């Protein structure tokens, strides 16, 4: 049984989806969770389901210096942080002919710049507590070329590279840095496409070895693994949690 009693965990994008599931998994293991996101009412809904006196911090990670400001705000609420789940992110579906510089800046500001600046702001408090665990939520978009999402794929490739680089920098401080690449997880991020593109669900499922979309808790359980001592000798790893999609038989299978 994973025991995170006494640990402080920060989860960005904790108002729904994978962030909500991660917050619940960490709270159930005993951690006190700091929920961050833009939508306070949604975070209140999540907090009401947590048992360890959660903290809510409203934060938009798009503007310049938002990551640093959030780190400072977190450290006004708690003395230090043991676990950081960098989950907040936006998809940016744009074919190359439609992608603008503004689109590029927006997706990189949230998915990359603020992720790193928040991490750099909280790292020293982790080191002061003897170490910690950082879990970056990347995507299988960094592992295989997704159609119509070149900028998004670029952000997740950057997350993977920063995961490995920071693991090297902070390993001696006993701070572990790992990344999870979710596959198709049924969250709000997919809602429009799931509802509006006929046959999408079946077509996508056909590419997954386990033949189903994932759910938030499929990722939350792996976040918990990386947050806990069960993964104590792992750092700098980028792990797909995708039911067998990025690396397993991407082509449609013949019907038996």
Establish if 189 lies at the interface with ligand NAP (CB under 6 A): yes
Q: What are the C-alpha distances in Å from 253 to residues 119, 137, 200, 243, 248?
A: 41, 29, 16, 15, 11
- Please, which residues bridge with residue 86 across strands? 136
Nearer to ligand NAP, 88 or 167 (CB): 88
Do residues 17 and 188 lie in contact, with contact meaning Cβ atoms separated by under 8 Å? yes
Q: Catalytic amino acids?
A: 152, 156
- How far apart (Å, rounded) are the C-alpha atoms in residues 86 and 95? 26
CB of 230 to ligand NAP, least distance (A): 22
Nearer to ligand NAP, 4 or 88 (CB): 88
User: How buried is residue 209: exposed, middle or buried, by Cβ count under 10 Å (0-12/13-18/19+)?
Assistant: middle
Establish if 246 lies at the interface with ligand NAP (CB under 6 A): no
Establish if 119 lies at the interface with ligand NAP (CB under 6 A): no
Establish if 110 lies at the interface with ligand NAP (CB under 6 A): yes
- How far apart (Å, rounded) are the C-alpha atoms in residues 156 and 104? 13
- How far apart (Å, rounded) are the C-alpha atoms in residues 68 and 40? 20
Do residues 244 and 208 lie in contact, with contact meaning Cβ atoms separated by under 8 Å? yes
- How far apart (Å, rounded) are the C-alpha atoms in residues 130 and 139? 29
CB of 13 to ligand NAP, least distance (A): 3
Binds ligand NAP (CB under 6 A): choice among 81, 84, 85, 184: 184
Establish if 49 lies at the interface with ligand NAP (CB under 6 A): no
Establish if 139 lies at the interface with ligand NAP (CB under 6 A): yes
CB of 118 to ligand NAP, least distance (A): 10
Establish if 61 lies at the interface with ligand NAP (CB under 6 A): yes
Do residues 67 and 113 lie in contact, with contact meaning Cβ atoms separated by under 8 Å? yes
Select the span of 55-63, 123-131, 165-173, 245-253 touching ligand NAP (CB under 6 A): 55-63
CB of 45 to ligand NAP, least distance (A): 11
By CB under 6 A, name the binding residues for ligand NAP: 13, 15-19, 37-39, 42, 59-62, 87-90, 110, 137, 139, 182, 184-185, 187-190
């Amino acid at each position: 049984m994973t025991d995170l009693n006494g640990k402080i965990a920060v989860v960005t994008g904790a108002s729904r989806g994978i962030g909500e599931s991660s917050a619940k998994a960490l709270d159930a293991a005993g951690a006190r969770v700091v929920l961050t996101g833009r939508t306070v009412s949604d975070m209140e809904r999540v907090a009401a389901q947590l048992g360890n006196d959660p903290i809510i911090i409203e934060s938009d990670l798009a503007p310049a210096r938002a990551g640093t400001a959030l780190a400072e705000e977190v450290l006004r609420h708690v003395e230090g942080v043991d676990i950081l789940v960098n989950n907040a992110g936006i998809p940016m579906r744009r074919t190359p002919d439609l992608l603008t510089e503004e689109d590029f800046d927006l997706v990189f500001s949230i998915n990359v710049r603020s992720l790193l600046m928040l991490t750099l702001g909280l790292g020293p408090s982790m080191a002061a507590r003897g170490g910690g665990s950082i879990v970056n939520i990347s995507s299988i978009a960094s592992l295989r070329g997704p159609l119509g999402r070149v900028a998004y794929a670029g952000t997740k490739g950057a997350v993977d590279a920063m995961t490995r680089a920071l693991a090297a920098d902070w390993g001696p401080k006993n701070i572990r840095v790992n990344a999870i690449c979710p596959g198709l997880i049924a969250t709000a991020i997919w809602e429009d496409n799931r509802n509006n593109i006929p046959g999408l669900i079946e077509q996508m499922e056909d590419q997954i070895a386990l033949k189903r979309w994932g759910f938030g808790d499929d990722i939350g359980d792996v976040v918990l693994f990386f947050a806990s001592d069960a993964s104590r000798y792992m750092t700098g790893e980028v792990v797909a949690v995708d039911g067998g999609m990025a690396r397993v038989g991407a082509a449609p299978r013949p019907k038996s």
